[in-house]
A and B are shown apart, each in its own frame.
Chain A
Amino acid sequence: MCYTISMNVIEANNLVKKFGSVTALNGLDLTVHKGEIHGFLGPNGAGKSTTIRILLGLLKKTSGNVELFNKDPWSEPVQLHRKLAYVPGEVNFWPNLTGGEIIDILGELRGGLHEERRKHLIRRFQLDPAKKFRTYSKGNRQKVALIAALASEVPLYIMDEPTSGLDPLMENTFQEEIRELKKADKTIFLSSHILSEVEALCDRVTIIRDGKTAAVYTLAELKKEHANLKKVFLEEYGEK
Chain B
Amino acid sequence: MFTGLFPLIKLILRRDRVKLPIWIFCFTAFLLLMLPLLHEMYGDAASLNTLFETFSANAAGIFLTGVMDSPTFGALMTIETLLWWGLAIAFLNILLIVRHTRQNEEMGAQELIQSCRVGRSTSLVAVLIIAFLTNLIITVALGIGMSILNYDSWSTGQAWLYAITMGLFGMVWAAITAIIVQLVDSARSAVGMMAGILGFAFLLRGVGDFMGSPNAAGIIQPKWFSNLTPFGWAQSTRALTHPDWLPILIPIIFIIVAASVAFFLMHKRDVGAGIFPSRKGRSRASHFLKTPVGLAWYIQKKTFIGWFVGISVFIAVIGALVSEMSSVFDANETVRQLIESIGGTGALIPAFLSTMLALAVIAVSGYTIQGLNKLRSEEASGYLENVLATHLSRIKWLFTHVGIVLFCGALLLALSGAIMSITANIGTEYNINVLDYVLAALSYFPMVLVFAGAYVLLFGLIPRAAATIVWVYYGFLAFATWVGPMIGLPQWIMGISLMEHFAAVPADNLNIAPLIVCSVVAIAAIITGTITWRNRNLTTS
**A-B complex: 5 closest residue pairs judged by Cβ atoms:** A92-B382, A104-B285, A108-B290, A109-B390, A100-B283
A residues sitting closer than 8 Å to B (CB atoms) are 53, 56-60, 77-79, 81-82, 84, 86, 88, 90, 92-111, 129-132, 134-135, 145
* Cβ-based interface call for B500 (8 A): no
Nearest-CB distance from B497 to chain A (Å)? 36
A94 touches B383 (CB 8 A): yes
Contact with A along B269-301 (1 / 0, CB 8 A): 000000000111111110001111001001100
Q: Which residues of A contact B299 (CB under 8 A)?
A: 94
Cβ-defined partner of A105 (8 Å) among B285, B391, B537: B285
A135 touches B295 (CB 8 A): no
Contact residues on B (Cβ < 8 Å of other chain), bracket:
20 to 34
Chain B residue at minimum C-beta to C-beta distance from A90: B382
* Cβ-based interface call for B332 (8 A): no
Task: Kindly count the residue-residue contacts between A and B in the assembled complex, taking CB atoms under 8 Å apart.
Answer: 109
Chain B residue at minimum C-beta to C-beta distance from A19: B537
B280 touches A108 (CB 8 A): no
Contact with A along B510-523 (1 / 0, CB 8 A): 00000000000000
B385 touches A101 (CB 8 A): no
B residues sitting closer than 8 Å to A (CB atoms) are 186, 278-285, 289-292, 295, 298-299, 381-383, 385-394, 535-538
Nearest-CB distance from A73 to chain B (Å)? 11
Most buried by A among B283, B295, B385: B283
B537 touches A129 (CB 8 A): no
A99 to B281, CA, bound (A): 9
A40 to B250, CA, bound (A): 66
A130 to B291, CA, bound (A): 20
A159 to B279, CA, bound (A): 31
A90 to B540, CA, bound (A): 12
With contact pairs A100-B284, A132-B278 given, residues A111 and B391 touching in the complex (Cβ less than 8 Å): yes
A95 touches B186 (CB 8 A): yes
A132 touches B281 (CB 8 A): yes
A57 to B298, CA, bound (A): 25
Q: Which residues of A contact B284 (CB under 8 A)?
A: 100-101, 104, 129
Cβ-defined partner of A132 (8 Å) among B280, B295, B387, B393: B280
Q: Which residues of B contact A59 (CB under 8 A)?
A: 537-538
A105 touches B538 (CB 8 A): no
With contact pairs A59-B537, A101-B289 given, residues A106 and B281 touching in the complex (Cβ less than 8 Å): no
A109 to B392, CA, bound (A): 6
Nearest-CB distance from B74 to chain A (Å)? 49
Q: Which residues of B contact A130 (CB under 8 A)?
A: 280-283
Q: Which residues of B contact A109 (CB under 8 A)?
A: 290, 292, 295, 387, 390-392
| Interchain residue pairs with CB less than 8 A apart (18) | A57-B388, A59-B538, A60-B535, A78-B393, A86-B386, A92-B386, A94-B383, A98-B283, A100-B281, A100-B285, A102-B285, A105-B285, A105-B290, A105-B295, A107-B290, A108-B290, A109-B391, A134-B278
Chain B residue at minimum C-beta to C-beta distance from A59: B537
